Structure 1
């Protein structure tokens, strides 16, 4: 698995129920656009606002719809046994990978984090992508990632949503350097190019929900060694990633951007998240017009 993976938004109706037709439409759009993978129940998908039953429903629905790309399912929780339950479910329905962020809310040391992931890895067979997102959950150090990767063959890679080129470099050199098949993705649009140049495998990036053509163009240009185009698209992504600074949450930024670009997904977030108002929407509109048109 390499390239552009999309952490999918979860579409909601005005009454906060899941908007299944909009989900179907969006997955169809992304597959036709040519993305390399689709990731459901992601941070961008507001997984912390979904019940276990809803997460299983979305995982099953996504498995029905995703047929031309890799299919990833998020199974993170603060409860290790719930992670095991959701991971087994993803395995049973035929997902290609699960993506597991560390437990959040309660600070944990590396011994506890290793045990958490070990219990999941030992009880399931599906390939696991670790998800390092220190702004939202307990951080994963390079040494912890390396220990897990070398001890468990089904721990297949890591998504690095961390604003540190040095950390990503060290994961690539120290972990991928010892285990060649270990996959390293960035979770940040603005770090897509440097992750690839350092020897990483791609990105799992939220802006690809509304502008996958930019991510795909960068990836293709790099493969074809069209370096002038690579720089152009990388600069576009760097500017586009400013969308996160304009809004109060990932979800608000992405859903407002999608509404501006004409997607049918409604700008509705489940509480406690809120959709930012017209002033923020106008700032996002200006950014999109400057970068994409």
Structure 2
């Protein structure tokens, strides 16, 4: 059976919940995965930037994947895909992480470019890295372009297109957190849409991303309001552009607020408004709570959470 790209839709880059002692909070993890699936997401992205991937060891990574896959299957959300972050500083370690992710139940991998020796990571070296991973990877994978966490390394549209064409069925998509919609448009227009998924990587350009050819969205804000993101896709599919623009405006305001509170802040919002988990990050990220957030931050978030409650009621999930 030929390997296909990830299905079109909303993907939540799942946060990793911790207990007070920084161990994995399995109960909150399962509750969170359940709420995302009930919100209508097409998939979950585990162990990405929001999942604090650099803070997890190999055993914890496998535990999280197995726990979520098993729980979703028990709930009959078998079609929800798992994309797992597997980027590392070497080809060897990246391949090991991909192999372990496959064994634990992942459908796809997500791979950052290596960035430890940033000065040595020329465009040619980065391209060679992805070709080498594709040659041996046990899972199809997406290229993850996020210059803010890779010492400024920004993979060009030309490189993404070359890599996808050279590795069909292995490199099946990209996540563009860089926010470059021109890059997204060029990639989408140069590769077969049924074989390659180019994703916008933030809520604040979700609708412009759809216009440019995004395969949906991979967005941190979906940790809080998954059904609202699904609603925007519904409006787009129905051609209701004015309604979609209004909803995009509210998502953009909420996303801008969320970016001010960091990963632990995302978890604190989930804890306060949805009743599970804690605003705990592994050190040095530290902890936070709703009480530490200003009204300027909470206002846009509470606005979008009210919408989420409305859409969840409409779908019978509240």
- TM-score exceeds 0.5: yes
The one-character-per-residue Cα deviations of 1:45-80 (angstroms, maximum 9, x if unpaired) are 101111122112212222222332111111111232
Equivalences, count: 289
Which runs of no fewer than 5 residues in structure 1 stay unpaired? none
Matches within 5 A, 1:161-240: 161-174=177-190, 176=191, 180-240=194-254
- Cα separation, partners in 2 of 1:279 and 1:61, compared to 1, 3 Å: closer
Equivalent position SS for 2:149: coil
Matched, 1:75 2:81: no
Select between 89-98 and 274-283 the one with higher mean Cα deviation: 274-283
TM-score (norm 1): 0.92
8 Å Cα contact 1:91/1:125 also seen in 2? yes
Residue 43 of structure 1, CA deviation: 0.9
- Cα separation, partners in 2 of 1:262 and 1:142, compared to 1, 3 Å: same
Select between 99-108 and 87-96 the one with higher mean Cα deviation: 87-96
Equivalent position SS for 2:38: helix
Matches within 5 A, 1:96-135: 96-107=107-118, 108-135=121-148
Q: CA RMSD in A?
A: 1.8
Which of 56, 59, 62 does residue 56 from structure 1 map onto?
Answer: 62
Q: Distance in 1 between matches of 2:82 and 2:260?
A: 30
Q: 2:158 is matched with which residue?
A: 143
Which runs of no fewer than 5 residues in structure 2 stay unpaired? 1-6, 307-318
TM-score (norm 2): 0.85
